[in-house]
Amino acid sequence: MARQIFPFIQRNFRDLTGHGIVHSTSIISYLNLFISILKAEGLELSRTEVRLLYSAAWLHDIGYLTCSERSEHSRESCRLLQIIEENYSLLGDLKNSMMYLVKYHQSRYDLSEVPKNAVHIHGDQVRLQFLCALFRLADACHIGEDRANRLVYYLIEGEINPESKPHWIGNSSVLSVDFIVEDAKILITVTNENDAKVLTDGFIKDFQKLMPFLAPAFPFYSVEIQSETPFELEGGRI
């Protein structure tokens, strides 16, 4: 279902950076990392919690299909998800919990509004507030050139609208976001700190806001930015 929707989500945002299949699969990669970190800390997720996180990776940005305001896309994703559920019943008992993950992945919403106490679905515990924080972190981690390819940026630079341009420049300057577990550190590697600043500053700000909701999973993690010169080849850069 998500694969059918993704090719069309940029219809109202011509210059939107990547929010398609690569974005969803990248979020899932981070979620898999978080699941392994949690397991090492003795904090395993239930099967239902994992299913909710994976489903949210595919569904959280579908609001871009009809939304004309970036700030409202998560709310619109919930509205479209309601329509999908009324017609296809894909989530069943998970629908209400999924609505929280989809809406609250956007940093403009206060996670303290999400129920803190665990609920039980299909016999599994579901810690909604914690899941929303975990998912928001996974979404925030996917910054990089695969969302705003540098070659494509060079070709369309003169046509990108002012709202989107900083995101293209920022994403194309980020090489990777890595969790250095042994050092309790998130390492963001960039090619140009000034160009990436709009994203790295936003990431640090969001991570600091998430910390109270993520403890004890990531209680002492810090964020570090490092610069790395891209490898140069004759005739161009890779």
Query: Confidence band (pLDDT; 50, 70, 90) for 117?
Result: very high
User: What are the b/e assignments for 165-196, b being 16+ CB within 10 Å?
Assistant: bebbbbbbbbbebebeeeeeebebbbbeeebb
The domains located in the chain, with CATH, are 2-141 (1.10.3210.10), 145-237 (3.30.300)
- Listed in sequence order, the residues at least 6 apart from 119 whose beta carbon sits closer than 8 Å to its beta carbon are 97, 125, 126, 128
Tens of pLDDT, residue by residue over 162-221, are: 888 999 999 999 999 999 999 999 999 999 999 999 999 999 999 999 999 998 888 889
Sole residue written with tokens 């994403």: 171
pLDDT exceeds cutoff 50 at 233: no
Query: Average pLDDT, stretch 3-15?
Result: 87
What string of DSSP letters covers 176-199? EEEEEGGGTEEEEEES-HHHHHHH
State both tokens at 30: 């981070």
Q: What pLDDT, on the 0 to 100 scale, is given for residue 121?
A: 95
- pTM recorded for the entire structure: 0.93
Helices 21-40, 128-141: crossing angle, 10 deg rounding = 120
Whether the CB-CB separation of 45 and 135 falls below 8 Å is answered with no
d(CA 104, CA 97): 11
Q: What pLDDT, on the 0 to 100 scale, is given for residue 231?
A: 59
231 vs 76 pLDDT, higher one: 76
